[in-house]
Amino acid sequence: NAGVTQTPKFQVLKTGQSMTLQCAQDMNHNSMYWYRQDPGMGLRLIYYSASEGTTDKGEVPNGYNVSRLNKREFSLRLESAAPSQTSVYFCASSSGWVFNQPQHFGDGTRLSIL
Amino acid sequence: AQSVTQPDIHITVSEGASLELRCNYSYGATPYLFWYVQSPGQGLQLLLKYFSGDTLVQGIKGFEAEFKRSQSSFNLRKPSVHWSDAAEYFCAVGARDKIIFGKGTRLHILP
């Protein structure tokens, strides 16, 4: 049982390049999330999708876009990467009603912007 | 403003000793409370959750947590830690329109 799968696991970009992080879940969950994790900052929510066809901004959405492709897949796009976006990115999913349900996390994408 | 505070950035305990990790929150209504654990290079894994009812909740790996409304706390405990418990622990508060994670407590285990 794969759970939440993120690709790629590692990526190095140059400033100004674009990239899409992929996330897929096989638990038939309605809600999906993208976070970034920086040292000493905990997790900060970038965007979330409460259900297929909807997306909403989280705490730190600037510089990112998302697409809920279908119920399984939720992608995060950096249109013009900046060094401040160097981080570890986590995708998560949950059943039921958004933030009051436990979330299942992928293993992360480690992204470096030079 | 809503917030989650984990006062201890690092904690070191000896293997076999008891453990308590602190979590304090600020939220107007009864929150949904979670503890997650993160091992190096991995994502977060749910340890336990509190929604309502019994204020002492049991989780996986022998962990428990107690919700104290009067103290706005949700501390995580384990009677006897194992070397495999070395990891980073996150407290989180879920509400209708947001989730807030604490900044984490890194647990070190002495042999």
The 10s digit of each residue's pLDDT in A73-92 is 999 999 999 999 999 999 99
pLDDT computed for residue B95 by the predictor: 79
Task: Convert the pLDDT of each residue in A52-63 to its tens digit.
Answer: 889 999 999 999
Among all residues of chain B, which has the CA nearest to that of A106?
A: B43
**Do B43 and A92 lie within an 8 Å CB cutoff?**
yes
B59 touching A (Cβ < 8 Å): no
Residue A100 has pLDDT above 90, yes or no: no
For chain A, give the mean pLDDT.
93
> Tokens 């995708």 map to which residue?
A91
| Cβ–Cβ < 8 Å for B48, B57 | yes
DSSP assignment of B45-94: EEEEEE-SS-SEEE-GGG-EEEEEGGGTEEEEEESS--GGG-EEEEEEEE
pLDDT confidence tier of residue B99, bands split at 50, 70 and 90: confident
pLDDT computed for residue A42 by the predictor: 87
B50 touching A (Cβ < 8 Å): no
pLDDT computed for residue B52 by the predictor: 84
CB contacts, 8 Å: B90 with chain A: 42-43
A105 touching B (Cβ < 8 Å): yes
- Between A15 and A95, whose confidence is greater? A15
pLDDT computed for residue A1 by the predictor: 62
Among all residues of chain A, which has the CA nearest to that of B41?
A: A107
Cα B11 to its chain centre, rounded Å, is 13
In this prediction, residues B1-15 reach a mean pLDDT of 93
pLDDT computed for residue B92 by the predictor: 94
pLDDT computed for residue A97 by the predictor: 64
For chain B, give the mean pLDDT.
93
pLDDT computed for residue A18 by the predictor: 96
In this prediction, residues A58-74 reach a mean pLDDT of 95
- Between A107 and B29, whose confidence is greater? A107
Q: A85: distance to nearest CA of chain B, Å? A: 18
Task: Convert the pLDDT of each residue in B40-67 to its tens digit.
Answer: 889 999 999 998 888 899 999 999 999 9
CB contacts, 8 Å: B41 with chain A: 107-108
pLDDT computed for residue B50 by the predictor: 93
pLDDT computed for residue B53 by the predictor: 85
H or E stretch covering A102: none
| Cβ–Cβ < 8 Å for B49, B34 | yes
Q: Which residues contact B64 (CB under 8 A, 6 or more apart)?
A: B48, B56, B57, B58, B76, B77, B78
Q: A72: distance to nearest CA of chain B, Å? A: 18
The answer for A 52-81 residues in CB contact with B (under 8 A) is 58-59
Residue B98 has pLDDT above 90, yes or no: no
